[in-house]
Structure 1
Amino acid sequence: MNPSIDRRTMLRTASLAGVGCAATPIWAQTGASGLERPVLSGEEIVLRIARQTMAIDGTASRAIGINGAAPAPLIRLREGQRVRLRVVNALDVDTSLHWHGLLVPFQYDGVPGVSFPGIRPGDAFVYDFTVRQNGTYWYHSHSGGQEQEGLYGPIVIDPAGPDPVAADRDHVVMFSDHSEQSPAAIFRRMKLQPGYYNFQRQTLAGLLTGRDQTAKDRKHWGAMRMDPADIADGTGATYRYLVNGHGPRDKWTGLFEPGQRVRLRLINASAMTTFNVRIPGLAMTVVQADGLNVRPVTVDELQIGVAETYDVIVTPTGDRAYTLVGESIDRSGMARATLAPRTGMDAPVPPLRARPLATMADMGMGGMAAGEARGVDPGAEQNASRTLATPGYVPPPATPVDHATMDHAAMSGMDHAAMGHAPISDPATGGAAGQGAMDHGAMDHGDMTMRDFSRAPQVHKGPGVQTIAPMPVDRTGYPGQGLEDVGHRVLTYRDLIALDRNPDVRAPDRSLTIHLTGNMERFMWGFDGQRMVDTHEPFAFTEGERVRVTLINDTMMGHPIHLHGHFFDLVTGKGDHAPRKHTVLVQPGGTVTFDLTADAVGDWAFHCHMLYHMLAGMMRVVSVRPREEAA
């Protein structure tokens, strides 16, 4: 897929309307490499879902697509317009489409069993709504594993008025992962064997060369039955990593003229892969996050969680090509594309970097390293204090552990009186993790280690909860696993500041804490120890109320948490210009706090956007009831 748009072609096509079709319009013909895909626009759009094949690096692969395209066509709309999307199911199973990040009536949100029944084989469903926003979004199936099979596509919504982002050329860059194995087979293998696709475990050679943990640290992690190399469930062992549906050898190329401001609309449409994105030799200025404008911030790399979007501006110069890299978080593979003045040009592809290993902070022990743990922003409290004078601003909550009242005796295997306080080796750097860090050798690693439910009384006890993070910390100032010491600027959530003042700056009416729980050995995932099938109780809200929500990640994996039908304001010390998102990556062992205005009545899905985590249970319903009904 290569929707490439410059100013002149946008003006020529601004008047296009009518029924969307699979033919490539003028604005997509300025692309490169013959890898263009359809663009659909207008007020009446027909989307026919069917099985097909997709060509990846010259090899045919089974897929599910729309109108003969997999990934699905780009849908281009304008803010304020009404659109009717008629979805025809030509499959032999039920299907659906969800408009990720779009604010639509709940009956058109597209989640079977929550907002509508789904679309049966041979049937059609019409999604009918007015477009209330602009920016970069995407759409995908919410039925089974169809999203994994290619049933996803980008959405670009042009603003009704002037666009504050000035650009000469526009490219959608959609990252994804694709496997020859069926979603059912992948899910079954993840359930049968922990780390089934992890081919990067620690080795004797790694121990001898110092690339892996020390023998002492390895012994301690083994006693806890935890694998620090278990960074991702789905890896390059089963996935090929794609840009706009194309593999590295397909050489998808986005064209530019030297000196042009090029807008790259980055979308992570993968099923399971967090990508670290960079363009060696070319800085990126982030101008939009999850479809909403932010104050420009220039970085060299960013981590994009599943289902997130970032718009960046790059200004390539000279008659040369650049390589765009989307490296999987575990460094088991990469998606690769090219930016160039002409087709056929190429640029060096950087090698995969060494895979990261999980640390104390990833185990939820970040607060035990005297503020020096990796991923802890030492300036977080200071940053928050600067905004205390902002009307309606409430500072971030303290770390969930109260040191003054904490019952140390209740923390099985974590008797602080028995802990030494000499610095321990940080396996990610080989250096000390900071004075006051734990000496794991003095810990009793019994079966109940790190499962002290007294720290999280709302979490239901059961086999689906392997750990309760002992001392989780706010990690919104953390660049992401493996990006701590890369030697260049990496985006964090604390860098994001909304371009416009937030629409609601009231102080929260109440607070809600939700634990992200899991058992990695059994591949069980949930909220507060419960899977979707374990409870019929939604997270309940009243229309118009303002709620401060804190997510605590009790697991050693990051979780991109997505709330349908709403945006929320991240609490990162930015006051009335807090960044607003609909998906947030909660780092392992970390916390994220956001303020939510429940302004959309209906039942909405709330889930981890790692496909197999969601299917394994990390999903609930958020129910927003009318104020008069709640009263």
Structure 2
Amino acid sequence: MSAKIYAGVIASFSLLFAPASWAAIKEYHLNIDQGMVNITGKSVKRMTVNGKFIAPLLEFEEGDEAVIHVHNQLKDQDTSLHWHGLLLPGLMDGVPGFNGFKGIQPNGSFEYRFKVRQNGTYWYHAHSKGQEQDGLYGALVIYPKGKQPVAQHEKADRDYVVMLSDFHETNSDQIMANLKKSAEYYQNQRETVGDVWQQVKQKGLKATWQDRSMWNQMRMLKTDLSDVTGYTFLVNGKTPQQNWTGAFSAGEKVRLRFINASAMSFFDVRIPNLKMTVVSADGQPVQPVAVDEFRIGAAETYDVIVEPKQVHYQIEAESIDRSGFAIASLQRDTVAPPAQIEMPKARPRALLTMQDMGMDHGTHAQMDMKDMDHTAHKPMSTDHLDHTAMKMSDMDHSSHDSMGMGKMNDMHQQQMTSQHENVKAESVQGWANASTPIGHKALQYADLKSLTPQPDTRPAERELVIRLGGTMERYMWTMNGKKFSDAEPLQVKFGERIRLKFINDSMMAHPMHLHGMFMQLENGQAAIDMPNKHTVVVPPGQTVTALLTADELGEWAIHCHLLYHMSAGMMNKLIVANVDDSKTVNQPNETAPSEGARHAHH
């Protein structure tokens, strides 16, 4: 027997008879480079891992020793990888300028090595400049020990990752430069004249006039649901036309692991004619919730169990600005899939309301407008309206000449009923309104309950208030009024129980992500049942709170997971330190990474 084979046999036997404390080593090599990719019919240079766009699925079992060798083959830029949602030592978290990690230089390598302490659906992505948008992201699945399901209701015959992402033909540096030029650069979904008529019809002329005046005063757009448009939405790196397909056999249960790996997109996810049972949120098991659809913010994950009965189903993830779909299929394995997919009809796009601005009935009480600089938004006169949806010549204006406003109101209502019903679907008001069909159940945060009791149910000892805001003129996003480079780190004592209070003073939703630890979302459940989350969506004008046991020492990033919001400043450092050590780690963020490592693009 050759020495090489003999050594291999010995190694195999060692693993076979190893004590339980010896973890299996699971090793990967990831080569990060750039290459030409063609997703939309146009070849563009994007990030590749091991020569492919997108990065590969990494699989582990709880208890494994993960060893991931990352080789930076880029010629001219640093890179990094962050293991999103994983509990690990600070140095392994992969954020340049945190915990002594300096990023991975060109032609350099870094070995990530950590014990896998959990199971569930997670993902990984770059934390350097805009590399995540440009393709440096992948799914990461950790199976329970021995691949046994966590609970009986989680048993499934098939297991698929459904990773949603947004692909742009423009590279991330240029997108950021465009946003810096004008926060409205991508706002091509302005309100139409039809939208105004709908509002008059629903609320009357006076209320419409007051509402418009207030939006004019703020110089803001009601249609500002997404900062960036022009995306093609992908499932596991495939376009709707390429139609990623998961097979199933009759009578099988299928687990679908949904990951929102997009840079800037929220999705409303549904599988027409197929109920979904949510069993996990952000990788953490929850008590089963049967739903017809769910909204998923950037960086969130949800696992669902489905029991397909038909031959074919279409998975439909619609972006909340209604600009497109990520599409995939579930297909009975004995039947050939349809020749082409059917693009679903878009649901109505919601218009933001004063409630989304943190105001009720036109009062500014809940939000100080002078804290926000809206000068980039031109007053919302008719130049904000898209007149293409409706020809003004089609309207009969003859009766308006001598009428007062009150009569005009009645007249408009009558005319619109007869003439403009077909112009546009009924306007949908409010960020949270997904146009869920009547009788269908959409998942709410309040539905989530931890599957197992929370080990720490102490009330919070103190509260950390984090106000989320922005200056639109320079496309700058802030936490507590400061961008990352100007902010003092947040300080927490090791073992302390704190409440994170996210107050959204902006008109955009922010998926707020905490590295290194799970938060317990305060969603109306008893403390023992609160769900664990690594990312919480804070809707426009709303406040969301979460409890945190600071049980991981280190410097942890806390930031909005919309890439260009983080890049433009909506990020801070949360330092968890033993009381005696706090003096040694308290430094302003200026001393941390370079602008490049902090993802800022200038």
Q: TM-score range by the shorter chain?
A: 0.7 to 0.9
Q: Is the 8 A contact 2:268 2:295 kept in 1?
A: yes
Whole-Å Cα distance in 1 between the matches of residues 31 and 202 of structure 2?
A: 49
Whole-Å Cα distance in 1 between the matches of residues 459 and 430 of structure 2?
A: 28
Q: Using the TM superposition, give the Cα deviation of residue 603 of structure 1 relative to its aligned residue in structure 2, in angstroms.
A: 0.5
Quickly say closer, same or farther: Cα 1:96–1:452, change in 2 above 3 A: same
SS at match of 1:548: strand
Q: Using the TM superposition, give the Cα deviation of residue 269 of structure 1 relative to its aligned residue in structure 2, in angstroms.
A: 0.3
Amino acid at match of 1:108: M
Q: Using the TM superposition, give the Cα deviation of residue 465 of structure 1 relative to its aligned residue in structure 2, in angstroms.
A: 11
Q: Using the TM superposition, give the Cα deviation of residue 524 of structure 1 relative to its aligned residue in structure 2, in angstroms.
A: 1.4
Deviation digits for residues 71-102 of structure 1, max 9, x if unmatched?
A: 10000001011011110000021000000000
What is residue 355 of structure 1 aligned with on the other side?
349
What is residue 105 of structure 1 aligned with on the other side?
89
Amino acid at match of 1:556: M
Whole-Å Cα distance in 1 between the matches of residues 29 and 366 of structure 2?
A: 55
Q: Using the TM superposition, give the Cα deviation of residue 354 of structure 1 relative to its aligned residue in structure 2, in angstroms.
A: 1.3
Amino acid at match of 1:529: G
TM-score norm. by structure 2 comes to 0.78
What is residue 126 of structure 1 aligned with on the other side?
111
Amino acid at match of 2:313: Y
Whole-Å Cα distance in 2 between the matches of residues 171 and 58 of structure 1?
A: 27
1:77 matches 2:60: yes
1:604 matches 2:556: yes
1:299 to 269, 291, 311: 291
Deviation digits for residues 412-469 of structure 1, max 9, x if unmatched?
A: xxxxxxxxxxxxxxxxxxxxxxxxxx2x4xx7x9xx995368xxxxxxx6859999xx
Amino acid at match of 1:106: G
Q: Using the TM superposition, give the Cα deviation of residue 206 of structure 1 relative to its aligned residue in structure 2, in angstroms.
A: 3.1
Q: Is the 8 A contact 2:240 2:341 kept in 1?
A: no
Aligned-residue RMSD, C-alpha: 2.6
Where in structure 2 are the equivalents of 1:614-629 lying within 5 Å? 614-629=566-581
Whole-Å Cα distance in 1 between the matches of residues 242 and 513 of structure 2?
A: 32
2:257 to 265, 269, 280: 265
What is residue 564 of structure 1 aligned with on the other side?
515
Quickly say closer, same or farther: Cα 1:598–1:194, change in 2 above 3 A: same
What is residue 90 of structure 1 aligned with on the other side?
73
What is residue 538 of structure 1 aligned with on the other side?
489
1:338 matches 2:329: yes
Q: Is the 8 A contact 2:466 2:479 kept in 1?
A: yes
Quickly say closer, same or farther: Cα 1:306–1:263, change in 2 above 3 A: same
Whole-Å Cα distance in 2 between the matches of residues 273 and 531 of structure 1?
A: 22
Whole-Å Cα distance in 2 between the matches of residues 465 and 519 of structure 1?
A: 9
Q: Is the 8 A contact 1:464 1:530 kept in 2?
A: no
1:219 matches 2:216: no
Quickly say closer, same or farther: Cα 1:272–1:323, change in 2 above 3 A: same
The count of corresponding residues between Structure 1 and Structure 2 is 496
Bigger Cα Rg: 2
Identity of paired residues, percent?
47
Which has more helix, going by share of residues? 2
Where in structure 2 are the equivalents of 1:95-494 lying within 5 Å? 95-115=79-99, 116-160=101-145, 162-163=148-149, 164=151, 165-208=154-197, 215-216=208-209, 217-235=211-229, 238-318=230-310, 320-342=311-333, 343-345=336-338, 348-365=342-359, 368=360, 438=361, 440=362, 450-451=367-368, 463=373, 481-483=432-434, 486-487=437-438, 488-494=440-446
Q: Using the TM superposition, give the Cα deviation of residue 251 of structure 1 relative to its aligned residue in structure 2, in angstroms.
A: 1.4
Amino acid at match of 1:127: Y
Quickly say closer, same or farther: Cα 1:122–1:229, change in 2 above 3 A: same
Amino acid at match of 1:309: T
Amino acid at match of 1:321: H
Whole-Å Cα distance in 1 between the matches of residues 328 and 430 of structure 2?
A: 23
Quickly say closer, same or farther: Cα 1:240–1:500, change in 2 above 3 A: same
Q: Using the TM superposition, give the Cα deviation of residue 256 of structure 1 relative to its aligned residue in structure 2, in angstroms.
A: 1.1
SS at match of 1:310: strand
Whole-Å Cα distance in 1 between the matches of residues 158 and 78 of structure 2?
A: 39
- When structure 1 is superposed on structure 2, of 325-334 and 336-345 the one drifting more is 336-345
What is residue 501 of structure 2 aligned with on the other side?
550
1:523 matches 2:475: yes
Quickly say closer, same or farther: Cα 1:132–1:465, change in 2 above 3 A: farther
Where in structure 2 are the equivalents of 1:41-56 lying within 5 Å? 43-56=26-39
SS at match of 1:295: strand
Q: Using the TM superposition, give the Cα deviation of residue 223 of structure 1 relative to its aligned residue in structure 2, in angstroms.
A: 2.6
What is residue 497 of structure 1 aligned with on the other side?
449
Whole-Å Cα distance in 2 between the matches of residues 480 and 518 of structure 1?
A: 18
Q: Using the TM superposition, give the Cα deviation of residue 53 of structure 1 relative to its aligned residue in structure 2, in angstroms.
A: 2.9
Q: Mind listing any 5+ residue stretches in structure 2 that lack a counterpart?
A: 1-11, 16-23, 378-428, 584-602
What is residue 45 of structure 2 aligned with on the other side?
62
Whole-Å Cα distance in 2 between the matches of residues 276 and 87 of structure 1?
A: 34
Whole-Å Cα distance in 2 between the matches of residues 329 and 139 of structure 1?
A: 24
What is residue 598 of structure 2 aligned with on the other side?
none
Quickly say closer, same or farther: Cα 1:602–1:464, change in 2 above 3 A: farther
Deviation digits for residues 181-238 of structure 1, max 9, x if unmatched?
A: 1111111111212221121111223334559997523333223212111111012xx2
Quickly say closer, same or farther: Cα 1:518–1:481, change in 2 above 3 A: same
Q: Is the 8 A contact 2:493 2:577 kept in 1?
A: yes
The structure with higher relative contact order (CA 8 Å, sep 6+) is 2
Amino acid at match of 1:139: Y
Deviation digits for residues 269-288 of structure 1, max 9, x if unmatched?
A: 00000111111111111000
Whole-Å Cα distance in 1 between the matches of residues 246 and 27 of structure 2?
A: 29
Quickly say closer, same or farther: Cα 1:251–1:544, change in 2 above 3 A: same
Whole-Å Cα distance in 2 between the matches of residues 233 and 105 of structure 1?
A: 34
Q: Using the TM superposition, give the Cα deviation of residue 480 of structure 1 relative to its aligned residue in structure 2, in angstroms.
A: 5.5
Whole-Å Cα distance in 1 between the matches of residues 366 and 91 of structure 2?
A: 45
Quickly say closer, same or farther: Cα 1:358–1:452, change in 2 above 3 A: closer
SS at match of 1:323: strand
Deviation digits for residues 49-79 of structure 1, max 9, x if unmatched?
A: 0102334256544210211121100000010
Whole-Å Cα distance in 2 between the matches of residues 272 and 157 of structure 1?
A: 26
Whole-Å Cα distance in 2 between the matches of residues 59 and 451 of structure 1?
A: 46
Amino acid at match of 2:437: V
Whole-Å Cα distance in 2 between the matches of residues 479 and 495 of structure 1?
A: 20
Amino acid at match of 1:566: M
Amino acid at match of 1:308: E
What is residue 379 of structure 1 aligned with on the other side?
none
Deviation digits for residues 284-325 of structure 1, max 9, x if unmatched?
A: 11000000000000111101000000000111103x211111
Quickly say closer, same or farther: Cα 1:209–1:546, change in 2 above 3 A: closer
Quickly say closer, same or farther: Cα 1:202–1:462, change in 2 above 3 A: closer
Amino acid at match of 2:166: D
Amino acid at match of 1:359: T
Q: Is the 8 A contact 2:248 2:254 kept in 1?
A: yes
Whole-Å Cα distance in 1 between the matches of residues 547 and 354 of structure 2?
A: 28
Q: Is the 8 A contact 1:567 1:581 kept in 2?
A: yes
- When structure 1 is superposed on structure 2, of 66-75 and 337-346 the one drifting more is 337-346
Amino acid at match of 2:358: G
Amino acid at match of 1:76: E
Quickly say closer, same or farther: Cα 1:257–1:83, change in 2 above 3 A: same
SS at match of 2:350: coil
Amino acid at match of 1:621: K
Whole-Å Cα distance in 2 between the matches of residues 354 and 130 of structure 1?
A: 46
